[in-house]
Chain A
Amino acid sequence: MPAIPNILIDSDGVMHTLYTEEIDLYGLGEIGNVHRASHLIFDPAAQVWTVRDARTGETVHRERSRANAIAWEIQHFGPGGEHYETA
């Protein structure tokens, strides 16, 4: 089952989230300011998928399952997650 990111709504109605097609974002309004949150890269030496923070380049998670790594990204980089971009 696909993970769905949280959505943060400002007091002026602007929504912030990770881009997803599990929610019809186009049906909610005008999409903009799309930019990279994280990278998912396979590490052949360790035989795992690594999640890297796009701002720092730091590896923040390792996982054998690619699907689980993507679900982790959505949970931790989305609004409310520990790696969520707050600036």
Chain B
Amino acid sequence: MSEYCDIKTQFKSEEALIDALLEASPQWTRDMIELHAEPQHLFGYQDDQREQTAHLIIRREHVGGAANDIGFLRGPDGTYTAQISRYDSHRYGERWQGKLKQSYAYHAIRRQQERHGRTVTRTVRTDGKILVTVRGY
């Protein structure tokens, strides 16, 4: 007997989130991603301090022209929430965030399964979906 299920991706792994950010925006490099034990304020394109805080930050100079900082705030349950200004939602909107979640899901599975000595591969299908296969069990 078997059951189907869906899993709505939640950013729970900092490492997998970094992997996904570097994949979703290849112009970024690891050293552009700041990590903070305590949440830090985000800044706007005019160097104005914004209300939003985040544990993981990509500063505005890496985000694009006249952009604001992008951040991810870790909640009490350990899940990260994106902090993206309305202005930057044009470039880093639903489509980009979908791509980020898709990439994150793969890397979260890969990192989890590699810890068990398993090999994880992915195939990108023509419909844009990714098929993930786990081997080595």
Contacts and interface: CB of A to CB of B under 8 A. Distances in A.
Interface of A: 1-4, 6-19, 22-25, 27-40, 70, 73-74, 77, 79-80, 85
B98 A12 contact: yes
Number of chain B interface residues as a range: 20 to 34
Contacts of A34: 3-5
A79 B104 CA distance: 19
A55 B99 CA distance: 32
A40 B2 CA distance: 8
Contact of A15 (B3, B6, B133): B6
Given A11-B98, A13-B98, A35-B4, A28 B130 contact: no
Contacts of B99: 11
A18 B8 contact: no
A74 B2 contact: yes
Given A28-B109, A37-B2, A1 B137 contact: yes
B81 interface: no
B9 A27 contact: no
B124 to A, nearest CB: 10
A31 to B, nearest CB: 5
B106 interface: yes
B4 A14 contact: no
Contacts of A13: 8-9, 98, 100-102, 104-105
